Amino acid sequence: MSAVQLLLVPLALWVLQASLCHGACVEVDSDTDAVVNEGFKLGCISCKMRAEVPAEATVEWSFMPKGESEFTKIYSYEDLMSDTPDERFYERLYWNGSKKTKDLQDGSIYILNVTWNDTGTYRCIFTRTLTFTSFKFHNDTTKIVHLNVVPRLTRGIASILSEVMMYVTIVGLQVWLVVEMIYCYRKISAQGEEALRESTAEYLAIASESKENCAMVAVTE
C-alpha cells in the first residue's frame, strides 16, 4: 500500500461520515428476515430528489399476510403523529423514520416482538408535496417489503467467509505495516551508520594524507 492509498482510507471514512452527518439520503432496501419474538425494523426510504425544495410527506404502511390477497392499513405517520389502526399490531409499531420533521425521507417503522403471523408483504407509501414558489407538486412513492419470519438468524456461508476474510485482511495489513516500518527503520539507521563510517574513513584518509604531506615537508627541509 502506498502512502497515497494510506491517505485515502481516512479520506473515504471522512466523506462517509460527512454524508451521514449531513443527512445525505441513500435509498437502502429493507432487511427481509425477522427473528421471531425479537424486534425488527421495516425499512422504507424515499429520497427527495430536489433537496433544496421545501416539502412535506406522510407515510402509510399496509400489510398483506402470507396467503391472503389484500392489503390492510396498519400504520400511518402524519404531522409527527402516528396511528396504528390494526389490532394485530396494536402497541407493537414504533416510528423509526425521520425525526422532528414533516419533510420525511425515512419512513421506517419498528415491529416489537415479531410473531409467525407477521409473515407476509408490507407496503410503504410516501405521499410527498414539494412546494415550489408558484406551485405545488405531488409525488407518491411505493415500496414493498416481503417479510420472512425465521426461528433465528442463519447466516450464509458467503457472509461468514467474507467477514473472516475481512479480519484476515485487516490483521494482515497491520502486520505488514509493522514489518515495513521495522524494515524502513533498519534501512535508514543502516544508511546512517554507513554514512558515518564513510565520513570517518574519508576523514582518516585526509588526515593520513596530510600527515604524509607533513612528512614530505619534513624530509625536504
Ligand X SMILES: *[C@@H]1O[C@H](CO)[C@@H](O)[C@H](O)[C@H]1NC(C)=O
Residues contributing to the site for ligand X (CB under 6 A): 46-47, 49, 91-92, 94, 96, 110, 112-113, 115, 117, 139, 141
CB of 172: closest distance to ligand X in angstroms?
A: 33
The residue (of 62 and 104) whose beta carbon lies closer to ligand X is: 104
CB of 47: closest distance to ligand X in angstroms?
A: 6
The residue (of 53 and 190) whose beta carbon lies closer to ligand X is: 53
The residue (of 62 and 84) whose beta carbon lies closer to ligand X is: 84
The residue (of 112 and 205) whose beta carbon lies closer to ligand X is: 112
Is the Cα torsion angle 120, 111, 83, 143 positive or negative in sign?
negative
The 3-class secondary structure across the chain, one letter per residue, is CCHHHHHHHHHHHHHHHHHHHCCCCCCCCCCCEEECCCCEEECCECCCCCCCCCEEEEEEEEEEECCCCCCEEEEEEECCEEECCCHHHCCCEEECCCCCCCCCCECCEEECCCCHHHCEEEEEEEEEEEECCCCEEEEEEEEEEEEEEECCCCCCHHHHHHHHHHHHHHHHHHHHHHHHHHHHHHHHHHHHHHHHHHHHHHHHHHHHHHHHHHHHHHHHC
CB of 41: closest distance to ligand X in angstroms?
A: 6
The residue (of 117 and 159) whose beta carbon lies closer to ligand X is: 117
CB of 27: closest distance to ligand X in angstroms?
A: 8
CB of 181: closest distance to ligand X in angstroms?
A: 40
CB of 48: closest distance to ligand X in angstroms?
A: 7
The residue (of 51 and 206) whose beta carbon lies closer to ligand X is: 51
* Of 133, 132, 77, 68, residue with least CA distance to 107: 77
